[in-house]
Amino acid sequence: MQRVTLLEEITVSNEWNRGSVRLVTLLSATMALGMLACTSEETLTEPSAGTSPAEAVAATYTAVDLGALPGGNLSSARAINSAGQVAGVSGTAAGDNHAVLWKNGDITDLGTLGGSSSEAFGINNAGQVVGKSETAEGEFHAFLWEKGVMTDLGTPGGTSSAAIDINARGQILLGGSDGSVGVWERGIITSLALPAGSSGCTPTGINAAGRVVGQCGVGQSIHSELWDRAAVTDLGTLGGSVTAATAISASGRVIGISREQPDEGSRPFLWERGTMTNLSTQGAPNGFIPNAINAAGQIVGINATGGQLHATLWHHGATVDLGALPGEDTYAFDINAAGQVVGQTVGGNGTRATLWTRK
């Protein structure tokens, strides 16, 4: 896909007030772009010798290593449902990446569409899992996994696709390698209209009502968009020309990041009923990248503190560092209604799928 640069302009340029360090693959949306491109697979960090996984305790949360497939030692958790079932990716004994499901302490290999690799990115309360998988022909296609069966969902446009999210109704959000956006439902893909002048879009979330968020290239700018039935709405900015919406709640609240002005870094935002609020003015760190929001308004994402990336929760003006397994960086990708958070820890044990729960 040729749209990777849309989010790279945001995520790679965020300096985090620590020299020229450039951050990549932080947003779920960024990972989706990388998947659609099919030119570079996300690489899970190999573990260092002589280390062992352990739990660590934050102020109010406990971090737990979810483990990996037999013979594999790398994993990442991407989504969690209300029952605590977790979807993500794990290395296999053969060295490939496979979509997996963690349930009741067990891990299940979801397989592929005929190729060597797959990744899961969303799960709903019915336990349906979506993501992308390599096909026997070498393309990457969106998939739906349900009751042991992985189904190829095709593509809304282009030769490759990814299933980014799934809601309770079974509607699945798709992104195509040509910058197209579609919603799959009961075997039919409905294409969503792109904003006037758009060069392509990256979808990032769908809520229970079927509302979709993402971002689109429009001229030299990147705009966050909300699709509601046939209408598409530009969510505006915090003063600059670049925004990236990363998730939408059941009630229609949208989170993301916005670059206020060139070279001024990015700020987290919450958009609700036509108003975009800078969360940096509400107690969130300036460098906070929000990735998910639950019905209670709890927002999780990534923050840079002391030269490291920290999985972070923000709620009602309070910021909580979720703590970590032994490692260098932590990433929070999703949160469920009970406040359970999933993501990954990168460090001495390699990349490990991590679940944070309240004590």
pLDDT of residue 52: 31
For residue 293, pLDDT over 70 is answered with yes
Nearest-angstrom CA–CA distance, 334 and 109: 20
Give percent above pLDDT 90 in the chain.
Answer: 71
Q: What's the rounded mean pLDDT across residues 217-236? A: 92
Strand partners, 131: 120, 143
Q: What is the pLDDT of residues 31-78, one digit of tens each?
A: 333 333 332 334 455 544 443 323 333 348 999 999 999 999 899 999
- Name 122's bridge partners: 130
Q: Please state the rounded mean pLDDT for residues 309-331.
A: 89
CA angle at 82 for the pair 78 and 85, rounded to the nearest 5°: 50
The total of structural domains in the chain comes to 1
Contact between 183 and 173 (Cβ < 8 Å): yes
With cut-offs at 50, 70 and 90, classify the pLDDT of residue 24: very low
Separation of CA 103 from chain center: 20
Distances (CA, A) of 6 to 18, 79, 192, 211, 250: 23, 23, 19, 22, 26
Angle at 272 between CA 286 and CA 122, to 5 degrees: 80
Mean of per-residue pLDDT scores for the chain: 84
Question: What global pTM score does this model have?
Answer: 0.86
Average pLDDT over residues 100-107: 96
Q: What integer is the mean pLDDT of 179-199?
A: 96
Give residue 62's pLDDT: 92
Read off the tokens for 291.
Answer: 């990735």
Kindly tell me if the per-residue pLDDT of 134 is higher than 60.
yes
**CA separation for the pair 43, 53 (Å, rounded):** 20
- Lookup: tokens for 310: 């920290």
Using pLDDT thresholds of 50, 70 and 90, give the confidence band for residue 191: very high
Half-sphere exposure of 32 (CA within 13 A, CB side): 34
Distance CA 25, CA 35 (A): 11
* 28 vs 107, higher pLDDT: 107
CATH number of domain containing 310: 2.120.10.30
Residue range 208-227: average pLDDT? Answer: 94
Let me know: does 15 contact 21? Beta carbons within 8 Å. yes
Structure tokens at 104: 């009741």
The structure tokens listed for 223 are 């705009």
Q: What is the residue whose two structure tokens read 């969503």? A: 192
Residue 341 domain boundaries:
4-358
What is the C-alpha to C-alpha distance for residues 177 and 185, in angstroms, rounded to an integer?
A: 20
| pLDDT for residue 315 | 94
Residue 292 has pLDDT above 80, yes or no: yes
